[in-house]
Amino acid sequence: MMKHSFCVLFYLSCLCLTAQERTVGVLEVAPEAYERVQIIPSLDQPYAALINLCGEVLQEWDLDYLGRTAHFLSDGRLLVSGRIDDGTFGRPGKTGALQIRSWDNQLLWETTFTAGRYGAHHDVLVTPEETIFVLVWERIDSSQAIQAGRDTGTVASDIWPEAILEIDPVGSDTFDIVWEWHAWDHLIQDRDSSLANFGVISEHPERFDVNRRTRFDDDWMHANSLSYDPIKDEIIINSRDWNEFWIIDHSTTSAEARGSTGGRSGRGGDLLYRWGNPMNYGRGDSTDQRLYAQHDATFNPDRSDTEGLIISAFNNNSGIAAPSEAVELIVPLSDGDYPKLVGDDSYAPDDFIFRYSGDPEGVFDSRVMGSYERLPNGNILTTTSLRGEYYEFTPEGDLAWHYRNPINLFGIAAQGDTVNGRVFHAYPYELDDPVFDGRDLRPIRETLESDSEGLCDCPFSLIVSTSTIPAVDDDMSITILASKEIEIRFDTKESRSIVIYSLEGQEVYRQVHEDQRVAVPLGILPTGMYAVGATSQSGLQSKLFFIH
């Protein structure tokens, strides 16, 4: 017997709305768009929503804080971070609050990082073991900074280097720290041989120059994203103000991460690799800088090259006369290890292998925030954060999907409004992701924006597979329509007897039809799996389908 193999089909038969100009929500969707749903956490309202490519709302969460990041756990619970305005760690990107909420928006767990030693900011990640990486500022007082070799003339108050805490939620409001890494454990300085961390900076690219100056005296590094590769067990930390990203070894113990030995790399918590601005480690000059205030440096583990590992980023290009770019580079590897520096060399490669700036006007230009990733079908998904816009392009540069967030500072925009809501990142999920097992993904309303309809004729199809009955199944398609009907279409027009059975063998529908299109009311079929058969003079056609 043939094993059923399930796949999600997305029928993007789109209708343009002629009654009013579309200014928010889905502005364009094409058949080339990658099939998915997407979480939109609003930076301007305490709210997050799950939408499909037609802009229809599949689920929503009213939050306690202005949202920033949102990730599903394996069972459909939602991890969100939000901003607490309490006067501590008051720099851009501050969050402070972490919550886990159920699918139906019940608060299950909450913790905060605002007072004392740590302040959470920007990004969090869920590991395959469902622990959580939290990016935090670590408060170091001025006397500690001076003892570490910091120039006394540049220490105005506390300094906040980056740290990563890997936590395991416990109960409703506590957690265990299962691993941690601190940038302050990996310093180098060349000013004072009587103080700690003295050495030649260019000979220690694995360490941070404690006297590197940035735009803030306290928020010293201003990292803004994390990316994790579970295969290599490594983490990327992206630093906007150092104009580079760093890779560290997560296979260490916390004790090993404080030093320079241990872990798969044998190098402890020292940097395995860094790229974007070699002047940070005393090499090269301004002509060698490639990253400028970038965001979202990300591993692409499914897109490796024979010569190395591919990493992508959203290169904001702040401070130079160039639009933001989606960029990729190949990090050269030798026997799985990162390159060693020789002489005056900087870390390879010299430049990107790929850069894309949208259309000639730079449609996703964003001086602050932004994200970029390459989807499994090769399409490019970018976030223009300040304008609250998502753009998806094909590899050929054609626009496949364009969405403008209607949730703004004033509430929810209607069509015709031009006030957009800000977003931080794109959070796409495939429709058949296990996090949706047992979840009802039928739309709960047409769109996020008020007084509007979706752009597409159908929100998403049923989950369909080839049945075990020999048939020419390509001649029959099954789709759920926004009108709450199941649409069965055939390539030819002829008289057919159509029967729908539950998998328990119960007949739930039988009719004879002569048209190429048959509409069956969705209400007659509860959640479950069904088989549909169509018998005509041409033979038997059949499919299985599943209703969430």
Phi-psi region of 484 (alpha: psi -120 to 50; beta: other; left: phi over 0): left
pLDDT of residue 4: 26
Q: Look at residue 156 and tell me whether its pLDDT is greater than 90.
A: no
pLDDT tens digits, 176-201: 999 999 999 999 999 999 999 999 99
Which amino acid, 535?
Answer: T
As a 3-state breakdown, the chain gives helix, strand, coil percent values, each rounded to 5, of: 5, 40, 55
Candidate from 4-8, 80-84, 148-152, 518-522 with smallest mean pLDDT: 4-8
Rounded to the nearest integer, the mean pLDDT of the chain is 84
Query: How far apart are the C-alpha atoms of 261 and 445, rounded to whole Å?
Result: 55
Share of the chain above pLDDT 90, in %: 43
Phi, psi of 501 (to 5 degrees): -120, 145
Q: Look at residue 489 and tell me whether its pLDDT is greater than 70.
A: yes
Residue 482, CA distances (Å) to 268, 458, 519 in order: 55, 5, 12
CB 341 within 8 A of CB 347: yes
**Sorting pLDDT into bands at 50, 70 and 90, what band is 358?**
low
pLDDT of residue 100: 97
Query: Exposed, middle or buried, 207 (CB in 10 Å: 0-12/13-18/19+)?
Result: buried
What is the rounded radius of gyration, in angstroms, for the C-alpha atoms of the chain?
A: 26
Candidate from 4-18, 150-164, 487-501 with smallest mean pLDDT: 4-18
Candidate from 373-377, 421-425, 480-484 with smallest mean pLDDT: 480-484
pLDDT tens digits, 263-321: 999 999 999 999 999 999 999 999 999 999 999 999 986 666 667 889 999 998 887 87
pLDDT of residue 465: 30
Phi, psi of 81 (to 5 degrees): -115, 150
In 3D, which of 152, 267, 286 has the Cα closest to residue 211?
152
pLDDT of residue 387: 78
pLDDT of residue 38: 93
pLDDT of residue 16: 34
Average pLDDT of 425-439? Answer: 87
C-beta contacts of 259-265 below 8 A and 24+ residues apart:
259/185, 260/186, 260/206, 264/232, 264/233, 265/337
Tokens at residue 367, please? 């001086």
pLDDT of residue 302: 67
**Sorting pLDDT into bands at 50, 70 and 90, what band is 110?**
very high
pLDDT of residue 318: 83
In 3D, which of 443, 427, 488 has the Cα closest to residue 42?
427
**Sorting pLDDT into bands at 50, 70 and 90, what band is 359?**
low
Q: Look at residue 7 and tell me whether its pLDDT is greater than 50.
A: no
pLDDT of residue 467: 30
Q: Look at residue 138 and tell me whether its pLDDT is greater than 60.
A: yes
Query: How far apart are the C-alpha atoms of 150 and 172, rounded to whole Å?
Result: 41
**Sorting pLDDT into bands at 50, 70 and 90, what band is 528?**
confident
Q: What is the DSSP string of 498-532?
A: EEEEETTS-EEEEEEE-SSEEEEEGGGS-SEEEEE
